[in-house]
Amino acid sequence: MNGILVINKEKNMTSRDVVNVVCKKLNTRHVGHTGTLDPIASGVLVLGVNDGCKIIDLLTSNNKTYEAEVVMGILTDTLDVTGNIIKEEEVDVTEDDIKRVIDNFPKKYLQEVPKYSAIHVNGKRLYEYARSDIEVELPKREVEIYSLKLLSVNGNTFKIEASVSKGTYIRSLIRDIGSMLGISCSMKELKRTKQGIFDIKDAYNLDEINMDTNLLSISDALINYDRLIISKDMEKKVSNGMVLELPTDSDMVLILNKENKLLAIYKRYDKDPSMMKPYRVFKEDL
């Protein structure tokens, strides 16, 4: 059993909790997730099962779409409602004010990561400094906001939909929206609705998973990558992981045999760009 499994994660579970449940249900120890969802969050969690774990790093780079509920007038140390309130204020903003900020929010900007995050600074994760009350300069990373929509406004809360690049923190995005509004804002709810090609409407609930669950094949999970079908004579060279000259202009390509079995993923060779080297080789029948 090899491939990709898309889970609709429930709230109040860690991503590791989900992995543990799937390991037990599928009777394997080789399951990994492609992007952590905090316990407060729900929605799409993409898992690699057995050989599917070999492409996790390719799937983590995918863009993501979220729906989030924002509470106005409150700022917490975690930037969501699970944290300690560090600022509370009365707010007087209209739906038009919120819509104006959403519509004019920058498409690219340097985003300061939350202090309660797993980013490493000087060999330690930021949340370790935060838990020890040690002040540290928070890194900033360029992120891209592909789309940002206001879904609804209800009293002191509003909902947004955001499609963002890898590495974007929605908690930080909400804080920054609040800064543009001139008020404090924190995240109340979060649902990931899409990661790359994986949509929540195609996701399994945990109680639906069993040994008969159909996994998405590795080839189908990498549908956006170019493919190259090779001859029988080339199969042994690929299976042995040889550096090869291949008829493709792509930097990364899936190598399949004439029976459409995925044999390997090859990438451009840095030392000689005319050649390609194995990125992943698959020994078992996928």
Q: Catalytic residues, which ones?
A: 38
* Rg of the chain in Å (alpha carbons): 22
DSSP string, 179-217: HHHTS-EEEEEEEEEEETTEEGGGPBPGGG--TTPPPBP
Q: Does residue 80 sit in helix, strand or coil?
A: strand
User: For residues 221 and 3, is the Cβ–Cβ distance under 8 A?
Assistant: yes
* N-to-C CA span, the chain: 8
User: How many other β-carbons are positioned within 10 Å of the β-carbon of residue 92?
Assistant: 10
| Side chain identity, residue 229 | I
d(CA 245, CA 232): 16
User: For residues 161 and 169, is the Cβ–Cβ distance under 8 A?
Assistant: no
User: For residues 70 and 38, is the Cβ–Cβ distance under 8 A?
Assistant: no
∠ CA 132-42-190, nearest 5°, is 70
Longest dimension (CA), the chain: 73
d(CA 133, CA 187): 22
Q: How many CA atoms lie within 13 A of 193 on its CB side?
A: 10
User: For residues 81 and 73, is the Cβ–Cβ distance under 8 A?
Assistant: no
Q: Are strands 41-49 and 185-195 parallel, antiparallel or unpaired?
A: parallel
